[in-house]
Chains A and B, each alone.
Chain A
Amino acid sequence: MSKAVGLEKAKVVIREDECKGCNLCIEACPEDVLFEQKYLNRMGYHPAGYVGEGCSGCGYCFYQCPEPGAITVYKKGYVGEEVA
């Protein structure tokens, strides 16, 4: 039985269409890897973005974000499809 290999590094995925640009995730991120995009999304907010590297998978952003579906955090060792 082969053991599935999990994600090597944690990562965060932001659904820009569901983001209301409140910046609370950005404020909360201890690794400082989130930022505000220059462009506007369909609701007219500057969505949050991930620099693409350095996420520790702490989940702080997820629990600060008021939108149920805007943020997904995949921790190190996660096995499976991307949810988003």
Chain B
Amino acid sequence: MAEKVLTKAASFYDVYERKSGAQDVTHYCPGCGHGVLHKLIAEAIDDFGIRDQTIFISPVGCSVFAYYYFRVGNIQVAHGRAPAVATGIKRTHPESIVISYQGDGDLAAIGGNNILQAANRGEKITVFFINNAIYGMTGGQMAPTTLIGQRTTTTPRGRTAANEGFPLKMCELISTLESPIYVERVALTDPKNTSKVRRAVRKALRNQIENKGFSFVEVLSACPSGWKMTSVQAKQWMVDNLLPQFPLGVFKDVSKELEPSERSKVVFSTENMNELLNIPSEENIRTDVPKPLTKFQNPRIILAGFGGQGILMLGLGLAQAGMQAGYHVSWIPSYGPEMRGGTANCHVILSEERIGSPTVSKPTVLVAMNLPSLEKFESQVEPGGLIIYDSSLINQSPKRKDVKVLGIPATEMADNLGNTRIANMIVLGAYIAITGIMPKDVVVDALPIFIKHKKLIPLNVQAIEKGMAFVDKNNGHA
């Protein structure tokens, strides 16, 4: 439609109420390219009638306050992370039009990997990338896109390839990926080039409206303040310096050949999450589990041993069974850098109340499956707590006199069952027997959820029973 009037787009707020100071002008410097790109985007949102669907993501940088201006859904995100946030929004709200608006510091420096991954995944979003060859907001430091020889506060003698490398060319990089469907570089210089920017903005949005794929528009843009020149000089500087280094044009466009396609919508319903996380549904949670003795209630447990002893699995089993028994539970592993041969430990909490933090600093229960673990954690156990240790591998008993101690030759017992790796389940049996935290059948019911090889289940059940029987026999003098 040939508009007979060119004026402030309806997709801008009449009054910028979120802004302090004058609420009828932007915060941008005179001659800044951000304002022009904002206008072109707002006009396109008007013309396509997508204001109610649009979610605009403001970055960190001078355009951090873009949400002051656009009368659409707005989110302001951490430096460089707009593509990740855009991904989340677009996947959960595929009907929305998601705009990731980013500067060159934001997109090409701190968020460099973010944008590449989003592009490579082919997120169905529209990215507008303002390249002004500098960090504007923070006062004119070098950006990845700063030109060779360009003086900035951090390259006072000019950028050199030897020191800072060459300018990063994002269109060139992104267009080598398979997934993006449209990659173009345009420039806010003269009216002719500006009309190409306008066209690119519209195309990149239309691609998203038509459900096609990842569109990326790099917009060369003036930063008169950062470049320390007048607005008019800045335009000339772009023509003389930026354009030769950042060639304009379409780097990739397969939008025509593409059929619109839907990504399956991710539904974060409780049912879906429960299924994914193996959380039993309400009706499968036991309500008849008797409480253990007061001193064993709400245990905060550290389980520790060698990597390879099944410590993390033991914790997971305990947490899974605890969940079926009706407790709030948490399990958090702590991987040593060494993994095998080194120590592995995890923290488990079973609680009648909601759990604030899953980390355990003062355990009420320590399960130590090797000597280094006993030595490391013994002193942290709360007075009145419980230490269970594998007496086949630890040939000294704990020194603490103010805690209950059970030594169980779990590895030997497991060996007798034909598999030393089942020692963890023997210890699990001992723990439930000594504390009464939950009955055996709850644990047995939980086994198939965390044990992949179903044929190993009978052996696990046997091991749990052995651990329980050991406690029944020996607990008196434990």
Contact = CB atoms under 8 A, between A and B. Distances in A.
A66 B28 contact: yes
Contacts of A34: none
In this complex, which of B12, B30, B194 has the most chain A Cβ atoms within 10 angstroms of its Cβ? B30
A20 to B, nearest CB: 4
Contact of B8 (A17, A20, A68): A68
B5 interface: yes
B372 interface: no
Interface in B61-90: 69
A78 B4 contact: yes
A63 B195 contact: yes
Contacts of B26: 66-68
A22 B9 CA distance: 21
A64 B36 contact: yes
A5 to B, nearest CB: 13
Interface string A24-57: 1001100000000000000101000000000000
A1 interface: no
A68 B38 contact: yes
Contact of A68 (B5, B35, B191, B195): B35
Given A28-B191, A63-B36, A66-B31, A72 B25 contact: no
Contacts of A23: 31, 230-232
Contacts of B231: 22-24
Contact of B6 (A6, A18, A59, A66): A59
A74 B235 contact: no
A24 B224 CA distance: 12
B235 A68 contact: no
B22 interface: yes
B39 A68 contact: yes
A20 B414 CA distance: 81
Interface size class of chain B, counting residues whose CB lies under 8 Å from the partner chain: 35 or more
Interface in B19-49: 22, 24-26, 28-36, 38-40, 42
B6 A24 contact: no
Contacts of A65: 35-36, 39
B7 interface: yes
B198 interface: yes
B232 A77 contact: no
Contacts of B338: none
A21 B30 contact: yes
B190 interface: yes
Nearest to B236: A27
Contacts of A6: 4
A43 B25 contact: yes
Contacts of A68: 8-9, 12, 26, 35, 38-39, 42, 69
A63 B35 contact: no
Nearest to A45: B30
Given A64-B191, A68-B12, A72-B7, 7 more contacts: A18-B24, A24-B235, A58-B191, A63-B36, A63-B195, A73-B7, A79-B4
Interface of A: 6-7, 17-18, 20-24, 27-28, 43, 45, 58-60, 62-75, 77-80, 83-84
3 closest A-B pairs by beta carbon, nearest first, are A66-B35, A20-B30, A22-B31
15 contacts: A17-B25, A23-B230, A27-B232, A59-B6, A62-B6, A63-B39, A63-B198, A64-B191, A65-B36, A68-B9, A68-B69, A69-B12, A70-B25, A71-B6, A80-B5
